[in-house]
C-alpha cells in the first residue's frame, strides 16, 4: 500500500510536469503555493496573454533581451544520513519512485547535488578519508580510503545520476584528516601549513575516485563553514590568509593539471562576512584559481552576495547550504522566507544555483552525530515505515527546478510594487519562467508585460507563483 501511494503521487506529479507550458502560445501557465498550505505547487487556470496596452503603475516588466548568469541548477546534499535512509529504509521500488520524483524529468528535475567529503554532523560516525592511529602521519596518503562513501553515499548518488545523467556535483570537506591539524582531531583546529601539499593531494585522490565511480565533481570548496569550529562534530577553521595560500600555491595549481576541470569555490559560509571572500580574492595567486564564491543562510543578509559580485563580476555566485528545521515550523512563513532569500535574492545577485542541506532525514531529524538536532530534510523518510513526507523545502525547490532548466539565463525583471519579489529566466528552448511572491498582507492585482504582450494576475497575500509561457513568435 505504501508503494502504491508513492507511485500514485509520482504519477500525479508527472502529469503536471508534462504541462509546464500552456497549451497555446497566447496563454501563461501558473503554478501556485499558498501561505496556508492549501495549495502546494498546484496548477492554476491558464492566464490569457493580450497585446500590451498602455503601461500601468507598478507594472512588472520582463525584458528577455537583458540577460545575466547561466543557471547550473537546484538541489540538495547527499549527506551520509540521506544516503543511509535511501539505502536502508526504502524498498528498491520505493527508492526508485522517490529518486524519480526528486531527480526525474517528470518530477522535480533536481540536477545539482552537494557531497560532504568525509563526515559531517549528519553521519553516524566521525571519519575522514585518511584516518590513522593517533600520533602517526601519512604524507603520502598510503592509507587513503573511500570505503565509507562507497558504502552508501556513492551508490545512492549513482542511483540519482542514473535518473538524471546531467546531475552536477559539488563537494565540500568538513575537516581535513586529524593528523593534518593542530588539534590532532577531526573536531576543531586548523590545518598545519606543512600539510598543505598533502591536503591538496587528498582532494585530488577524492576527485580521481569519484571519476572512477562515474561521478565527476564539477565544483569543490576548500572548507565547509571555515569560520566555525563546532564543538561536537568535524570542523576546521581556515582563515582567509590560509585559504588564499592553500588555493593559490597548492590546490589550484594541482587541480589545473587534471584532465577533467574542477572549479574551486571560496567561502561556503554565511552572508555576514563578505570581507572574508573579498580578502581571498584580493590575493592574485588565489584569485587565478577561484571560480566563484559560495554562500550559506544562517547569518547576515543576502545583499552580501551582490557586494562581492560587484567587486568581482568575473566570479561565479552559488548558494550552497540552508536547512529548514523545527525552529521555523510555520509553512507559510518558511515558504516565503526561503523563496525570497534562497531563490529570488541569490538569483538577482547572480547565483547560478541553489543547494539546500540534507536531501532526506528521518522522523527524528537524523541520523546525526552532534550538530543540528532539529534540522529538516527536503523530504522526511520514516525510519519505521518508509513513508515519505514532502516538506516545504521540496516545494521551494520545485518552484524553480521544474521550470528553470540547466543553461537558462536570468533575464531582467523590474517593477511590480514594493511587496513583490521576483526573478525571471529564459530557458534554452526559448520559453520564459517567472518566480514571484507577494510579500504583502493583501491581494496584489498584478499587471505583467513581456515582449510586447501583457496579462493580469491576482496574487493572494503570501502566495508563491511560478509562471511559464512561450516567447512571442515561438513555435509550439
Residue 19: predicted pLDDT: 45
Residue entry with cell 525547490: 397
Tell me the per-residue pLDDT of 162-180, one tens digit each, with 9 for 90 and over: 999 999 999 999 999 999 9
Phi, psi angle pair for 338, to nearest 5°:
-70, -45
Q: Are residues 279 and 420 in the same domain?
A: no
Q: Are residues 358 and 294 in the same domain?
A: yes
In the Cβ-directed half-sphere of 362, how many Cα atoms lie within 13 Å? 21
Q: Decide if pLDDT at 87 tops 80.
A: yes
Q: 243, 286 in Cβ contact below 8 A?
A: yes
Domain presence at residue 475:
no
Q: Are residues 438 and 375 in the same domain?
A: no
Residues 355 and 318: their CA atoms lie apart, in Å, by: 8
Q: Where is pLDDT greater, at 14 or 374?
A: 374
Residues 90 and 3: their CA atoms lie apart, in Å, by: 9
Residues 181 and 186: their CA atoms lie apart, in Å, by: 8
Q: What is the pTM of this model?
A: 0.94
Q: Hey, how many other C-beta atoms are within 10 angstroms of the C-beta on 70?
A: 14
Model confidence at 10, in pLDDT bands (50, 70, 90)?
Answer: very low
Q: Are residues 59 and 184 in the same domain?
A: no
What's the average model confidence in pLDDT over 387-395? 98
Query: What distance lies between CA 263 and its chain's CA centroid?
Result: 16
Last residue of a domain, one of 381, 403, 425: 403
Domain presence at residue 476:
no
Residue 474: predicted pLDDT: 57
Residue 316: predicted pLDDT: 98
SS (H, E, C) the chain: CHHHHHHHHHHHHHHHHCCCCCCCCCEEEEEEECCCCCCCCEEEEEEECEECCCCCCCCEEEEEEEEEEECCEEEEECCHHHHHHHHHCCCHHHHHHHHHHHHCCCCCCCCEEEEEECCCCCCCCCCCCCCCCCCCCCCCCCCCCCHHHHHCHHHHHHHHHHHCCCCEEEEEECCCCHHHECCCCCCCCCECHHHHHHHHHHHHHHHHHHHHCCCCEEEEECCCCCCCCCCCCCCCCCCHHHHHHHHHHHHHHHHHCCCCCCEEEEEEEECCCCHHHHHHHCCHHHHCCEEEEEEECCCCCCHHHHHHHHHCCCCEEEEEECCEECCCCCHHHHHHHHHHHHHHHHHHCCEEEEEEEECEECCCCCCCCCCCCCEECCEEECCCCCCEEECHHHHHHHHHHCCCCCCCEEEEEECCCCCEEEEEEECCCCCEEEEEEECCCCCEEEEEEECCEEEEEEECCCCEEEEEECCCCCCC
Phi, psi angle pair for 278, to nearest 5°:
-65, -35
User: What's the Cα-to-Cα distance from 111 to each of 168, 179, 361, 398, rounded to whole Å?
Assistant: 6, 35, 19, 12
Domain residues for the domain of 173 are 72-403
Domain presence at residue 55:
yes
Q: Are residues 148 and 95 in the same domain?
A: yes
Q: Are residues 251 and 380 in the same domain?
A: yes
What's the average model confidence in pLDDT over 3-27? 52
Residue 452: predicted pLDDT: 87
Tell me the per-residue pLDDT of 356-366, one tens digit each, with 9 for 90 and over: 999 999 999 99
Last residue of a domain, one of 362, 379, 403: 403
Q: Decide if pLDDT at 420 tops 50.
A: yes
Residue entry with cell 578519508: 129
Q: Decide if pLDDT at 149 tops 80.
A: yes
What's the average model confidence in pLDDT over 121-142? 98
CA nearest to 425, candidates 62, 61, 112 = 62
Q: Are residues 161 and 310 in the same domain?
A: yes
Residues 418 and 442: their CA atoms lie apart, in Å, by: 13
Q: Are residues 363 and 461 in the same domain?
A: no
Domain presence at residue 474:
no
The grid coordinates listed for 429 are 528552448
Residue 13: predicted pLDDT: 41
Model confidence at 473, in pLDDT bands (50, 70, 90)?
Answer: low
Q: Decide if pLDDT at 354 tops 60.
A: yes
Q: 277, 265 in Cβ contact below 8 A?
A: no
Tell me the per-residue pLDDT of 246-278, one tens digit each, with 9 for 90 and over: 999 999 999 999 999 999 999 999 999 999 999
Domain presence at residue 255:
yes
Q: Are residues 113 and 63 in the same domain?
A: no
Q: 16, 29 in Cβ contact below 8 A?
A: no
Tell me the per-residue pLDDT of 16-74, one tens digit each, with 9 for 90 and over: 444 478 877 789 999 999 999 999 999 999 999 988 766 777 899 999 999 999 999 99
Residue 54: predicted pLDDT: 61
Q: What is the mean pLDDT of the chain?
A: 94
How many domains does the chain fold into?
A: 2
Residue 8: predicted pLDDT: 35
Residue 2: predicted pLDDT: 35
Tell me the per-residue pLDDT of 59-82, one tens digit each, with 9 for 90 and over: 999 999 999 999 999 999 999 999
Q: Decide if pLDDT at 7 tops 60.
A: no
Residue 373: predicted pLDDT: 96
Q: Decide if pLDDT at 408 tops 90.
A: yes
Q: Are residues 138 and 13 in the same domain?
A: no
Q: Are residues 431 and 301 in the same domain?
A: no
Q: Are residues 81 and 46 in the same domain?
A: no
Tell me the per-residue pLDDT of 397-407, one tens digit each, with 9 for 90 and over: 999 999 999 99
Residue 57: predicted pLDDT: 77
Largest CA distance in the chain: 76
CATH of the domain at 376: 3.20.20.80
Residue 23: predicted pLDDT: 76
Q: 62, 424 in Cβ contact below 8 A?
A: yes
User: What's the Cα-to-Cα distance from 300 to each of 1, 90, 275, 305, rounded to whole Å?
Assistant: 46, 38, 12, 10
CATH of the domain at 453: 2.60.40.1180
Last residue of a domain, one of 403, 418, 449: 403
Domain presence at residue 128:
yes
Domain presence at residue 316:
yes
Tell me the per-residue pLDDT of 305-345, one tens digit each, with 9 for 90 and over: 999 999 999 999 999 999 999 999 999 999 999 999 999 99
What's the average model confidence in pLDDT over 133-137? 97
Domain presence at residue 21:
yes
The grid coordinates listed for 144 are 587513503
Amino acid at each position: 500500500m505504501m508503494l502504491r501511494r508513492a507511485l500514485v503521487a509520482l504519477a500525479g506529479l508527472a502529469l503536471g510536469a508534462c504541462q509546464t507550458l500552456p497549451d497555446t502560445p497566447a496563454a501563461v501557465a501558473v503554478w501556485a503555493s499558498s501561505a496556508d498550505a492549501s495549495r502546494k505547487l498546484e496548477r492554476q487556470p491558464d492566464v490569457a496573454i493580450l497585446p500590451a496596452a498602455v503601461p500601468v503603475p507598478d507594472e512588472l516588466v520582463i525584458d528577455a533581451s537583458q540577460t545575466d548568469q547561466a543557471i547550473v541548477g537546484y538541489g540538495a546534499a547527499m549527506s551520509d544520513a540521506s544516503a543511509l535512509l535511501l539505502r536502508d529504509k526504502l524498498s528498491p521500488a520505493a527508492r526508485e519512485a522517490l529518486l524519480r520524483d526528486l531527480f526525474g524529468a517528470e518530477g522535480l528535475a533536481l540536477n545539482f547535488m552537494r557531497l560532504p567529503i568525509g563526515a559531517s554532523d549528519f553521519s553516524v560516525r566521525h571519519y575522514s578519508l585518511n584516518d590513522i592511529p593517533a600520533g602517526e602521519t601519512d604524507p603520502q596518503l598510503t592509507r587513503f580510503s573511500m570505503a565509507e562513501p562507497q558504502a552508501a553515499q556513492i551508490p545512492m548518488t549513482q542511483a540519482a545520476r542514473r535518473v538524471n545523467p546531467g546531475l552536477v556535483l559539488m563537494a565540500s570537506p568538513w575537516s581535513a584528516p586529524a593528523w593534518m591539524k593542530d588539534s590532532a582531531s577531526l573536531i576543531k583546529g586548523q590545518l598545519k601549513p606543512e600539510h598543505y601539499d598533502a591536503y591538496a593531494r587528498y582532494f585530488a585522490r577524492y576527485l580521481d575516485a569519484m571519476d572512477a565511480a562515474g561521478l565527476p565533481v564539477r565544483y569543490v570548496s576548500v572548507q565547509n563553514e571555515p569560520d566555525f569550529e563546532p564543538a561536537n562534530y568535524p570542523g576546521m577553521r581556515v582563515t582567509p590568509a590560509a585559504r588564499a595560500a592553500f588555493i593559490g600555491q597548492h590546490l589550484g595549481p594541482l587541480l589545473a593539471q587534471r584532465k577533467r576541470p574542477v572549479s574551486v569555490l571560496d567561502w561556503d559560509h554565511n552572508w555576514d562576512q563578505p570581507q572574508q571572500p573579498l580578502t581571498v580574492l584580493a590575493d592574485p595567486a588565489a584569485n587565478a584559481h577561484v571560480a566563484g564564491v559560495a554562500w550559506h543562510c544562517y547569518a547576515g543578509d543576502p545583499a552580501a552576495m551582490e557586494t562581492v559580485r560587484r567587486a568581482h563580476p568575473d566570479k561565479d555566485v552559488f548558494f550552497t547550504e540552508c536547512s529548514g528545521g523545527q525552529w521555523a515550523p510555520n509553512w507559510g512563513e518558511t515558504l516565503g522566507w526561503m523563496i525570497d532569500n534562497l531563490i529570488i535574492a541569490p538569483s538577482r545577485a547572480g547565483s547560478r544555483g541553489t543547494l539546500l542541506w540534507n536531501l532526506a532525514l528521518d522522523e527524528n531529524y537524523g541520523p546525526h552525530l552532534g550538530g543540528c538536532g532539529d534540522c529538516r530534510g527536503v523530504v522526511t523518510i520514516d525510519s519505521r515505515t518508509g513513508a515519505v513526507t514532502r516538506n516545504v523545502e521540496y516545494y521551494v525547490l520545485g518552484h524553480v527546478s521544474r521550470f528553470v532548466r540547466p543553461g537558462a539565463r536570468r533575464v531582467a525583471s523590474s517593477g511590480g510594487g514594493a511587496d513583490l519579489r521576483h526573478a525571471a529566466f529564459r530557458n534554452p528552448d526559448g520559453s520564459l519562467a517567472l518566480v514571484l511572491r507577494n510579500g504583502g498582507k493583501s491581494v496584489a492585482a498584478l499587471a505583467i508585460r513581456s515582449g510586447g504582450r501583457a496579462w493580469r494576475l491576482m496574487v493572494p497575500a503570501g502566495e508563491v507563483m511560478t509562471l511559464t509561457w512561450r516567447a512571442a513568435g515561438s513555435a509550439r
